[in-house]
Copies of this chain bind each other. A is one copy, B any other.
Amino acid sequence: MIRYILGESIERCDESIVRSLKEALADVIACTIAGCQTEVARIVKTFAVQQWARGKSSLFLSTHALQAAGATFVNATMANALDLDDGHRLVKGHPGAVVFPAVLAAAEERETTGKAFLTALLIAYEVAIRAGMLAHQLRPEYHCTGSWGAIGAAAGVGRILGLSVEQLRHALGIAEYHATYSPMMRCIDHPSMLKDGIAWGSMTGISSAYLAQQGFTGIPSLFGTKEAAELVEEMGMLYRIQQLYFKPHACCRWAQPAVEGAKYLAERHRLSHREIGKIVIRTFRESARLSKKAPANTEEAQYNLYFPVAAYLVFGEVGPRQVLRELANEEILSLMSRMETQIDCQLDAAFPEKALSQVELCTYDGRRYLSPVMQAKGDYDFPLTGEEKKAKFFRLTEPFLGRAGSEELFERIQQVDQLANIRQLTAAIARNLSD
């Protein structure tokens, strides 16, 4: 594992891997920008600016710059604030939002090249995803992203800092031990700003690498266990960043197959939401455990099964507008009151490798339509097209950067490996802003 962290370089990777990495980077940057308008972003920024020292690591869409750990906490909060950020099925969580802010903050602090940043980001993704797979295998409870994601963040930041073999070992162990405790299912039952523990985990990960640099010692990492051997072996050969999913809808991934089922039926049969008398969602147990109540805040809207399905049927999209400003929409709430859920044992058995649902719509005039078993769109075996991903980028960034600013940022992401200083990337986000 340490050999991989020290030896990896985007220069030795296939072009397709660098392409995947840039797609992930564009997606997480767009999500972070869009996430700045949430209440949780405001709260966390106030806290962070008070606690952490001024530094060289930027907060997105802000004139403040903090020491690396503080900036990481803020940006990671925003990256996942709309639940629109990337994920990986086998870790049941979000690698991008937890590793990107930490690697970026360290790269800004060190003013690394774009190439060094991109290499560290790749390392962080690869390590985080495997740490997540192992955490779920080795320990009985469901681990939130912040727990295993911290380990990936520490690995990427460790590479940026130029840690020695010994320091890297310690950094991984510190991150594993300090990362969040995560009674995750209580956060499904009671949606809160904690969500996936991403921001605290990301901050914990970067802090672990900085602590290791000073000589702080940690436990041997979980990558030394026998269960890890195969996953460590494959590193540098199999790139799991190519198995990421990208989200079209701003809500928990577990609700998205149902959104796809509703979308399929509404488009195929040209149904207006006003015709629909009843909606039955057949799904897996975790999905069924999501809230079904009228949401009181954006977190409850995102961790909801009915809200996004209804929002999609009313608006034709589930984006920042829906989960931030349409919580009390009468048509959405009315549709939600006509839904029911059935747990299907076959769909249940396919989870977590696949997240599947099936939707049945009954119209007021007695027609009944059944969707096929649907997968959430955006997975690596059912991907968004390049154009769809690009459209998502512009949909999320234009309200803040304008068309020209979004285009410039998109271009800079495509050229990130050519940048002499990673701050040329963040400068394209911060320009012309004030708090």
Contacts and interface: CB of A to CB of B under 8 A. Distances in A.
State the copy count for this chain. Answer: 2
A90 interface: no
A417 interface: no
Nearest to A174: B194
A186 B69 CA distance: 26
Interface in A191-221: 192-194, 197, 200, 204, 207, 210-211, 214-220
A51 B69 contact: yes
Nearest to A211: B47
A12 interface: no
B173 A177 contact: no
Contacts of A194: 173-174, 177-178, 217-219
Contact of A220 (B68, B186, B204, B218): B186
Given A177-B194, A183-B176, A192-B170, A67 B50 contact: yes
A217 B299 contact: yes
Given A52-B53, A207-B51, A214-B46, A187 B197 contact: no
B147 A181 contact: yes
B180 A193 contact: no
A140 interface: yes
A185 to B, nearest CB: 10
A137 to B, nearest CB: 14
Nearest to A219: B186
A39 B211 CA distance: 13
Contacts of A183: 139, 176-177, 219, 222
Interface string A254-294: 00000000000000000000000000000000000000000
A182 interface: yes
Contacts of A93: none
A43 B210 CA distance: 10
B43 A211 contact: yes
A48 to B, nearest CB: 10
A152 B179 CA distance: 18
Interface in A15-59: 39-40, 43-44, 46-47, 50-54
Contact of A215 (B43, B143, B216): B43
Contacts of A179: 180-181
A41 B292 CA distance: 49
Contacts of A69: 51
Given A51-B67, A177-B183, A187-B219, 9 more contacts: A47-B214, A50-B67, A51-B52, A52-B52, A177-B182, A180-B180, A183-B222, A190-B219, A190-B220
Interface of A: 39-40, 43-44, 46-47, 50-54, 67-70, 139-141, 143-144, 146-147, 170, 173-174, 176-183, 186-187, 190, 192-194, 197, 200, 204, 207, 210-211, 214-220, 222, 297, 299
19 contacts: A40-B216, A43-B211, A43-B214, A43-B216, A50-B67, A51-B52, A51-B69, A51-B70, A51-B210, A53-B54, A139-B183, A147-B181, A177-B182, A177-B187, A178-B197, A187-B219, A193-B218, A194-B217, A217-B299
